[in-house]
Amino acid sequence: MMRMTVLASGSKGNSTVISSSRTRVLVDAGLSCRELLRRMALAGEDPATLDAILITHEHIDHVAGLAVLARRLGIPVYITEPTHRAWGRMVTPRTTMTYAKWLDHVQQEKEARAAAVAQGNLEIAAEAAPDSNADNLCEPETPIVKSNPSHLPAVEYFHSGTSFCIGDLDITPFTIPHDAADPCGFVFSAEGIRMAVATDLGYMPPNVKAALKRIDVLLLESNHDLEMLRDGPYPWSVKQRVLSRVGHLSNHATAEFLSTDYDGGAAYIVLGHLSESNNAPELARIAAEQALVNHPTLLGNRVLLAMQSNPLDPIML
Ligand SMILES: [Zn+2]
Ligand SMILES: [Zn+2]
């Protein structure tokens, strides 16, 4: 038996529970600790049984609750060394910047948030917002946390392309093209079932296409509708970033992958990381279903949509 429970998916926070019958891991912790615990309870996932947290990359929508949750549960964090270093710099900027630079950085972040809010673009405002104090209820501030916000109970490094095991879960991380230090996706397998997480990628390079073979449950990015993004509220520089080869997959790119390179073996395709400003769930669904309809052998694939605001019902195989 394997299970995937998407707790949240989108640019305001990402987190997914993957379990076998003996092992349970959390992929990314992109909401506050309190919200992650609330969603796990809603979805019937017991946080006390989590064995580890795995991180795809250091963007805030994937790590917002990481340190607090890992400390609260006392479980190890699996991460690549470059991502760990980038995250450490992010949460302890004062140790690596001069005071003047730090003030500059804070000012720039403030301005970016104010500009985004002024444009009514709450998605960008949320992405630019630093880890909030919402976690105060989750963890009292101990001296060790105060002096070192990047403190984690245990850190295990992995390398993309090299498989490793946690309990009876076999995990293969693969490199994805995205503007982070060392971003990756994962393939999980146990008891002959394979599940994959592939979001936050600018395009589908050959190594990702190869990694996504023989997958039973595939969480795949379908971030934006090209027209909505082009005509939408984002500043041009942000549009360029999203559209770039290290940005996010459009509905069109996802559909193209499904109709040309996908082997059709999945029971479920979960479309994720949908933009709230530049996509509509029905557009993402129609694009993917259209791609599958063109291939009669793929008609057995069910398309589901992962949401930002609510956990998806657990998918069990
Ligand atoms: Zn993301
Ligand atoms: Zn990202």
> What order do you get walking across the sheet with 52-54 strand by strand?
155-157, 77-79, 52-54, 24-27, 15-20, 2-8, 315-316
Taking the C-alpha atoms of residue 53 and residue 241, their distance in angstroms, rounded to an integer, is: 28
Taking the C-alpha atoms of residue 240 and residue 234, their distance in angstroms, rounded to an integer, is: 10
Residue 252: pLDDT above 90? yes
Span from the CA of 178 to the centroid of ligand 1 (angstroms): 9
Domains of the chain and CATH, by start: 2-94+133-142+146-316 (3.60.15.10)
Q: What is the average per-residue pLDDT within 85-93?
A: 90
Tokens of residue 141, six digits: 């501030």
Span from the CA of 296 to the centroid of ligand 1 (angstroms): 32
Span from the CA of 129 to the centroid of ligand 2 (angstroms): 14
- CB count within 10 Å of CB 182 equals 21
Name the pLDDT band for 146 (thresholds 50, 70, 90): low
User: Are the CB atoms for 57 and 182 separated by under 8 Å?
Assistant: yes
Nearest ligand, CA 30: 1
Residue 183's nearest CA partner among 247, 234, 132 is 247
Residues 280-293 have pLDDT tens digits of 999 999 999 999 88
Residue 65: pLDDT above 90? yes
pLDDT at position 184? 98
Place of tokens 């992405």: 127
Nearest ligand, CA 13: 1
Nearest ligand, CA 201: 2
Q: What is the average per-residue pLDDT within 252-277?
A: 95
| DSSP per-residue codes, the chain | -EEEEEEE-STT--EEEEEESS-EEEE---S-HHHHHHHHHHHT--GGG--EEE-S---HHHHTTHHHHHHHHT--EEE-HHHHHHHHHHH-HHHHS-HHHHHHHHHHHHHHHHHHHHTT-HHHHHHHSPP-GGGGGT----HHHHH-TT--S-EEE--TT--EEETTEEEEEEE---SSSS-EEEEEEETTEEEEEE-S-SS--HHHHHHTSS-SEEEEE--B-HHHHHHSSS-HHHHHHHHSTTS--BHHHHHHHHHHT-----SEEEEE---SSS--HHHHHHHHHHHHHTSGGGTTPEEEE--SSSPPPPEE-
Residues 47-60 have pLDDT tens digits of 999 999 999 999 99
Which residues fall inside 5 Å of ion ligand 2, going by CB? 59, 200
What residues contact 241, with CB distance under 8 A and at least 6 apart?
A: 179, 247
More confidently predicted of 37 and 146 = 37
Span from the CA of 59 to the centroid of ligand 2 (angstroms): 5
Nearest ligand, CA 61: 1
Does the global pTM surpass 0.95? no
Nearest ligand, CA 241: 2
Span from the CA of 11 to the centroid of ligand 1 (angstroms): 5
Give the phi and the psi of residue 109 in degrees, each rounded to 5.
-65, -40
Taking the C-alpha atoms of residue 30 and residue 50, their distance in angstroms, rounded to an integer, is: 16
User: Are the CB atoms for 212 and 262 separated by under 8 Å?
Assistant: yes
Span from the CA of 200 to the centroid of ligand 1 (angstroms): 5
Amino acid in position 54: L
* CA terminus-to-terminus distance, the chain: 6
Name the pLDDT band for 148 (thresholds 50, 70, 90): confident
pLDDT at position 138? 72
Amino acid in position 142: T
Residues 292-302 have pLDDT tens digits of 887 766 667 89
Name the pLDDT band for 28 (thresholds 50, 70, 90): very high
